Structure 1
Amino acid sequence: MDLLILDVTGFLFLGHVESLGINYGQVGNNLPPPEKVLDLLRSLRITKARIYDTNPQILTAFANSGVELVVTVENDMLGTLMNPQQALQWVNSRIKPYVPATRITGIAVGNEVFTGGDTTLIANLVPTMVSIHGALVQLGLDQYIQVSTPSSLAVLAESYPPSAGSFQPELTAIMSQFLQFLQTTKAPFWINAYPYFAYKDEPNNISLDYVLFNPNAGMLDPYTKLRYDNMLYAQVDAVIFASARLGFGGIEVRVSETGWPSKGDQNEVGATVANAATYNRNLLRRQLRGEGTPLRPNMRVEAYLFALFNEDMKPGPTSERNYGLYQPDLTMAYNVGLSALGSTSSTSSASISLTSSAPHQRWETL
């Protein structure tokens, strides 16, 4: 697929996006039905999606669409699905009936469990992942479906400089088990990363250009001598270093959520339409170039924007309801300059992928 990108000067250029995602959230009472959402994705030639449940309406609507889906086990299901027989029953009823017509490619087990403060959930997470993966193996689906869990960057005790990246001490034991599972099953580490939170908390100490991917002097890691010109890549590399400290240096880190709100409360510094458009547009540019981080320059970063829609029922500050690129009536909240060319001019199989709504948790910043 060829994509037509409009930059801030109005210049149009062609590119291929293979690693960019957008969140498809469902926490609203005025959102379009899944069929309309699918039409929107098709109009943008989007071929990957991720939702934060196993909504049968979505799984049915997306059948035979060619769109790849990652589905999610809700946090409150972990205690039940830790049991291998219950996990097998869940996969048999929630996953198996829809494949292969619906292209389910991943299962996210919970969301931000490690930093939610529920010690029982934390203890149940890896055993639940093992049970679900075991069910996939039994049913011959493990070669098609990966199992992982998205984590908040609050899992890190240190993130600055990136080479100092380390996990919270109380998470070390469980994190080692988790990383072992990812290594064994060749699954990615999913991280929810929001430079916006860092800027909001310390606008006088953090460069807006640095968090928005705009041109800036950047930051030099004094130990690796690697230079970072944006915070997102620094966050990703901090997770890679933290994993390597526990002996798991080869695991791929993907950004399961990142975005910028177009509106916020009075104390939410930086939550503006202009900043949201700039952040997402500049991230899109990076994706077009297939960039990797300074630590892994030859491995493109797979990143998922938050979000597809503004969602009016999300709790919390005003910003939580204003991360969307689109309004629920399918009009643009703001323009990031992305439009898809018609299929007649299609020359490649590039794709944009999507994730679903999830609660945002603050993390300690660089």
Structure 2
Amino acid sequence: MAFALLSKSQLRPVICALLCISLFSDHYDVLRRASALGINYGQVGNNLPSPPQVVQLLTSLRISKVRIYDVNPQVLSAFANTGIELIVTVPDDLVPGMAASASQALQWLTAGVRPYFPATRVTGIAVGNEVFTGDDEQLKASLVPAMRNLHAALAQLGMDPYVRVSTANSLAVLATSYPPSQGVFTQQAAPYMAQLLRFLAETSSPFWINAYPYFAYKDDPTKVSLDYALSNPYHVGAVDPYTRLQYTSMLYAQVDAVTFAAARLGYGNVAVHVSETGWPSKGDANEAGATVENARQYNRNLLMRQVSGEGTPLRPRLRLEVYLFALFNEDMKPGPTSERNYGLYQPDMSMVYNVGLNQLSTTSAASLSSLATSPASRRVSTSTNS
């Protein structure tokens, strides 16, 4: 554990600082009420539709934010003049070279992104993926220097006002995530996190977290409340004993835990966005909870929270930006069955289940109450650790 957990008296200044930041931000947070819901468009499959077909689907659903895992020129071309915001990715193997050479960062940007910009609305670059919870120490040490070189390259090309540089982190960077107010980074990750958060604060970029309550439920379904993991709104949830904030969503609790962890390093003003979250519709025999109904419920609950403009309990007036994982089931992904079944859609573009995006694209927000899930049972686990 990176730091000793704080007592109530020690925690009070941290909470006050975070609340002051939240209140100070309210005057411009209202301007961000436009949709904060995005989706991850993975391509690890041999039967996926063409990029123009994907764009047509996304446009019909009025999804305005998409994350991809490369700089595929066919995809970048297909998104031109659509107005859809795109996050692109630098693969892990290119990170050390970018850290060692500013010219390599500039070359990657000039060859892979600049030719399509601004017709293709690239708004973010994810450098690597879940680097700080891997085993490659050189890669960890290279990440922030690579991000700095990439940001300098954006500035050189005049793109830095429009494109934010960040990296997607696994929730495993936290040593403690429950209760949220006790969120703290692991001893191994903390030194890197200080460097990362300093860069994000300097460039007004968000901290991206890949957060999957499904894993918490799968690992201990007898103790973790399914309602809580699914973000069902009609249950008691969990109350943080230090802040007295009530959480009906494990995902939102995880986000606040990251915010508290960042605040302990002096960066409570850095926004936390969810770069990946989802629930599999199918799994192996030992993958508890991987069902179509649970997947539909989880993603629909997040959709409804987006429609209502809901923020986390710590930052209630700032709607949480979330990227669902994923658009399609991807048949070539390795690992357990669940890995190939996170998609909202089959590769033939038929729905795996109806999460409500079709209704959202044709219905006003005021009339979306019909999409709400039925009241969940009010069971609350004795342990809701995430």
Q: Give the TM-score of the pair, scaled to structure 2.
A: 0.84
Unpaired stretches in structure 2, ≥5 consecutive residues:
1-32, 366-383
Counterpart of 2:336 (choices 317, 320, 324) is 317
Any idea what the Cα deviations from partners look like across 1:302-327, whole Å, max 9, x if unmatched?
A: 11111100000000000000000100
Alignment pair present for 1:95 and 2:99: no
User: Does the Cα contact within 8 Å between 1:237 and 1:293 map onto a contact in 2?
Assistant: yes
Q: Could you tell me how far apart the structure 2 residues matched to 1:338 and 1:300 are?
A: 18
User: Does the Cα contact within 8 Å between 1:17 and 1:287 map onto a contact in 2?
Assistant: no
Q: CA deviation at 1:213?
A: 1.7
Any idea what the Cα deviations from partners look like across 1:138-181, whole Å, max 9, x if unmatched?
A: 11100000000000000001111101100011222111010000
Alignment pair present for 1:304 and 2:312: no
Higher strand share: 1
Q: CA deviation at 1:342?
A: 7.3
Q: Could you tell me how far apart the structure 1 residues matched to 2:360 and 2:207 are?
A: 33
- Please provide the CA RMSD for this pair: 1.8
Q: CA deviation at 1:221?
A: 0.7
Q: Could you tell me how far apart the structure 1 residues matched to 2:385 and 2:93 are?
A: 29
Counterpart of 1:52 (choices 57, 65, 69) is 69
Q: Could you tell me how far apart the structure 2 residues matched to 1:240 and 1:151 are?
A: 13
Q: What count of residue pairs does the alignment treat as equivalent? A: 335
SS state at 2:122 partner: strand
Map residues 158-173 of structure 1 onto 2, 5 A cutoff: 158-173=176-191
Counterpart of 1:36 (choices 38, 53, 62) is 53
Q: Could you tell me how far apart the structure 1 residues matched to 2:75 and 2:293 are?
A: 32
User: Does the Cα contact within 8 Å between 1:326 and 1:332 map onto a contact in 2?
Assistant: yes
User: Does the Cα contact within 8 Å between 1:109 and 1:125 map onto a contact in 2?
Assistant: yes
Q: CA deviation at 1:338?
A: 2.2
SS state at 1:296 partner: coil
* Alignment-mate amino acid for residue 158 of structure 1: T
Q: CA deviation at 1:49?
A: 1.4
Provide the residue aligned with 1:269 in structure 2: 288
Alignment pair present for 1:258 and 2:277: yes
User: Does the Cα contact within 8 Å between 2:37 and 2:65 map onto a contact in 1?
Assistant: no
Q: Could you tell me how far apart the structure 2 residues matched to 1:25 and 1:91 are?
A: 21
Provide the residue aligned with 2:29 in structure 1: none
Q: Could you tell me how far apart the structure 1 residues matched to 2:361 and 2:241 are?
A: 47
Which protein has greater RCO, CA pairs closer than 8 Å, 6+ apart? 1
Identity of aligned residues (%): 65
User: Does the Cα contact within 8 Å between 2:61 and 2:361 map onto a contact in 1?
Assistant: no
Q: CA deviation at 1:47?
A: 2.1
User: Does the Cα contact within 8 Å between 1:24 and 1:307 map onto a contact in 2?
Assistant: yes
Q: CA deviation at 1:301?
A: 0.4
Alignment pair present for 1:176 and 2:194: yes
Provide the residue aligned with 1:70 in structure 2: 87
Q: Give the TM-score of the pair, scaled to structure 1.
A: 0.89
Any idea what the Cα deviations from partners look like across 1:32-79, whole Å, max 9, x if unmatched?
A: 010100110111122221101000110111112222211000011101
Q: Could you tell me how far apart the structure 2 residues matched to 1:49 and 1:196 are?
A: 22
Provide runs of 4+ in structure 1 moved above 6 Å: none
Q: Could you tell me how far apart the structure 2 residues matched to 1:167 and 1:309 are?
A: 32
Q: Could you tell me how far apart the structure 2 residues matched to 1:295 and 1:48 are?
A: 24
Unpaired stretches in structure 1, ≥5 consecutive residues:
1-15, 348-363
